[in-house]
Amino acid sequence: MAAFVEIQRLTKVFAPRNGGAAVAALEGVDLAVAEGEFVCLVGPSGCGKSTLLNVVAGLEPPSAGDVRVNGRRISGAGADRGMVFQEAALFPWLNVIQNIEFPLRRLGVPRAERRARALHFLHMVHLSKFAGAYVHELSGGMRQRVAIARALAMDPKILLMDEPFAALDAQTRDILHEELQQIWQETRKTILFVTHNVREAAYLADRVAIFSAHPGTIKRVLPINYPHPRDKESLLIARAANVILEELKDEVEKAIRRQLGEEWQRPADRVSRSARLDLGRGI
């Protein structure tokens, strides 16, 4: 049986701009995601992980290859795939509850049920008190909660999350990690989650797809066989994070060297030098 999300030999080339060369963001990416699975995509910046998410969302057409969700090839964006962006992308002219109800009208949900559903998911992200608040009155973390509730309210088959917690402070992020884990366990949605935070990936994911850049490909898929709910302080999570970090290190260095040129060296690889030449004295 085919997987729930089936990505085969996906290639995405961005057309050259101003006479530059065409950029291959993704080249021959294969990834299969089971229903209800939580998969994190990590990699250095520019590795195409966000592009992959955009293609699955239908916001960008693939250049070659195949993306199927639930057996159907995707064509264009649709409400069966909910997306949460790094910035909450809430509508400032609507209050919190209206933002969550917003996509439901188009989906033909009757008015009374729209309100009930929105309240249900607002409760799930613990923002019931803020139903009537406007976007500018909310903190960054609260905005992301609303964005998550809005995506869930559409009852999509998949939740696509593009670095949703990257712009938040560390404490808020930790709390939202725990809550997302809980929400995922309650709703059993399939989640594709882009991040460059290895701890985040190790804590949340069933499997972590590690990308390498130029061209963007998946270097390794690392299963994290450790039952949910997880404990963030656990040694197993830290160990998994280290494995991801090791895999990524070369990729990140490659990316930096590409940007800065050969002048750049890892601090650890440099010979220690001091102008005063008294290193080691008194040993």
Is residue 83 a contact point for other proteins (CB under 8 A)?
A: yes
Please state, in angstroms and as integers, the Cα–Cα distance from residue 247 to each residue in 24, 38, 205, following that order.
22, 20, 16
Is residue 133 a contact point for other proteins (CB under 8 A)?
A: no
Task: Note whether 177 and 232 are within 8 A (CB).
Answer: yes
Is residue 61 a contact point for other proteins (CB under 8 A)?
A: no
The token duo for 78 is 């649709």
Is residue 6 a contact point for other proteins (CB under 8 A)?
A: no
DSSP 82-148: EEE-SS----TTSBHHHHHHHHHHHTT--HHHHHHHHHHHHHHTT-GGGTT-BGGGS-HHHHHHHHH
Q: Which of 44, 48, 58, 62 contacts other proteins by CB under 8 A?
A: 58
Is residue 12 a contact point for other proteins (CB under 8 A)?
A: no
Q: Which of 85, 167, 187, 243 contacts other proteins by CB under 8 A?
A: 85
Is residue 92 a contact point for other proteins (CB under 8 A)?
A: yes
Q: Which of 76, 229, 280, 282 contacts other proteins by CB under 8 A?
A: 76
Q: Which of 17, 72, 106, 273 contacts other proteins by CB under 8 A?
A: 106
Is residue 154 a contact point for other proteins (CB under 8 A)?
A: yes
Side-chain half-sphere of 111: how many Cα atoms within 13 Å? 0
Is residue 155 a contact point for other proteins (CB under 8 A)?
A: no
Residues 159-198 that bind other proteins (CB under 8 A): 160
